[in-house]
């Protein structure tokens, strides 16, 4: 799925299976001490992916511990995101000098079977748009992509705001070309003196996995207002 972020300053490391013998760092073992084997495998492998990605951008390996609301704690100067689902684990990282925040989410490429879940995730306009897309490309699990994309929105949003974002606080519009736009329905984060009102994203469905990602490039500070 690395092609999803081709052309961006983001390093992607992914795997379709758990990594036998991958190491845990101090503090990480305690987090999953009481977890079942499946959870342990996901936790260990996705951190192996993250440390491999960090090494590729010249950042020393370190413990990646869950912090507030479970958000991973990245080394200073690094923006990152991790995801895992059945049959897929991935981590993406970049220097904050190039990327201010990013988010990735992977899901099984299957339609959402519970209509109540879709009503929770999508508003009337979004559901109507998904139905239109499904009529044109029925092989794409558009509702699952929407769920994934809203997860990616939150993962991008939270490091910038340290605040919760509900499903109904971002409105998503998908293009059939592998892109989407998330329009924030609440005041957006202010970065380098500018409010970010929307997040641009990309999506890809391949080999039974649906993946969405958002990359917010670093931007120069807004110019100062002229003196009166």
The domain segmentation of the chain, as residue ranges, is: 7-97, 103-218
* CATH code, 7-97: 3.90.470.20
Using alpha carbons, select from 20, 39, 16, 32 the residue that is nearest to residue 64.
32
Query: Residue 23: what pLDDT?
Result: 84
Where are any strands of DSSP class E within the chain?
11-15, 78-85, 88-95, 99-108, 170-174, 179-184, 190-191, 194-195, 198-206, 209-217
CATH code: domain 103-218 is: 3.90.470.20
As a whole number of angstroms, the distance between CA 5 and CA 2 comes to 6
Residue 225 has pLDDT above 50, yes or no: no
Gyration radius (Cα) of the chain, Å: 18
Q: Does residue 226 surpass a pLDDT of 60?
A: no
- Quick check: 102 pLDDT over 80? yes
Give me the residues paired with residue 203 across strands.
212
Angle at 215 between CA 124 and CA 176, to 5 degrees: 45
Q: How confident is the model at residue 185 (pLDDT cuts 50, 70, 90)?
A: very high
**pLDDT average, residue stretch 193-198:** 95
Dist. CA 6–CA 8, nearest whole Å: 6
pLDDT value for 26: 87
The predicted pLDDT at position 220 comes to 55
Q: Residue 96: is it exposed, middle or buried by C-beta count within 10 angstroms (0-12/13-18/19+)? A: middle
Q: For all residues of the chain together, what is the average pLDDT?
A: 93
Check for a shared fold between 7-97 and 103-218: yes
């Amino acid at each position: 799925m690395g092609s999803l972020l081709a052309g961006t300053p983001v390093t992607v490391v992914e795997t379709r299976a758990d990594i036998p013998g991958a190491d845990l760092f101090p503090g990480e073992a305690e987090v999953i001490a009481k977890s079942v084997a499946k959870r342990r495998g996901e936790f260990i492998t996705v951190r192996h992916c993250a440390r491999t990605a960090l090494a590729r951008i010249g950042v020393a390996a370190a413990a990646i511990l869950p912090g507030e609301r479970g958000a991973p704690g990245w080394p200073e100067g690094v923006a990152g995101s991790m995801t895992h689902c059945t049959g897929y684990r991935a981590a993406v990282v970049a220097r904050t000098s190039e990327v201010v925040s990013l988010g990735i989410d992977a899901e099984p490429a299957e339609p959402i079977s519970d209509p109540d879940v879709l009503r929770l995730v999508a508003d009337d306009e979004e559901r109507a748009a998904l139905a239109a897309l499904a009529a044109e490309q029925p092989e794409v699990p558009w509702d699952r992509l929407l769920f994934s994309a809203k997860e990616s929105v939150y993962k991008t949003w939270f490091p910038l705001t340290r605040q919760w974002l509900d499903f109904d606080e971002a409105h998503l519009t998908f293009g059939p070309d592998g892109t989407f736009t998330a329009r924030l329905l609440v005041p957006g984060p202010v970065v380098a003196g500018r409010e970010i009102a929307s997040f641009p994203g990309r999506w890809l469905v391949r080999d039974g996995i649906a993946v969405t990602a958002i990359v917010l490039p670093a931007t120069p500070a807004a110019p100062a207002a002229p003196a009166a």
